[in-house]
Amino acid sequence: MRYIKEETIQPLKDMGRYALYGALGSVFVGVGILFIFMAVLRFFQEQFRVFDGTLSWIPYLIVAALALIVASVTLWQIVRGAGERRIKSTK
């Protein structure tokens, strides 16, 4: 019975802990990136008075474009990394 516990239950517990830490880390990174984007938006709104009035939408457009670029690079790296791992494992 001890062998079954060591070989099945303990690895599942370890995997669950690993997944929990990964999910928690992802949440923290996501919140941090959100704060960074909010800071960039605030920077553009405060530093460049030309964006007041009818041009107040431009900082939002800049931050949205920046967010799309960051998301695109992130997804590209995820996809590229998985492909490289597959290529290395077949050699």
Predicted confidence at residue 34, as pLDDT, reads 97
The confidence score (pLDDT) of residue 82 equals: 67
Phi, psi of 52 (to 5 degrees): -80, 160
User: Which uninterrupted H or E stretch holds 3?
Assistant: helix 2-4
**Considering its fold, how many domains does the chain have in total?**
1
User: How many angstroms separate the CA atoms of 72 and 2, rounded?
Assistant: 48
pLDDT given at position 91: 63
pTM above 0.75, yes or no: no
Query: Dihedral, CA atoms, 69, 74, 75, 79, nearest 10 degrees?
Result: 140
Please check the confidence at residue 11 and state whether its pLDDT lies above 80: yes
When pLDDT is averaged across residues 47-66 and rounded to a whole number, the result is 94
Residue ranges making up the domain that contains 74:
2-90
Quote the mean pLDDT of the chain: 89
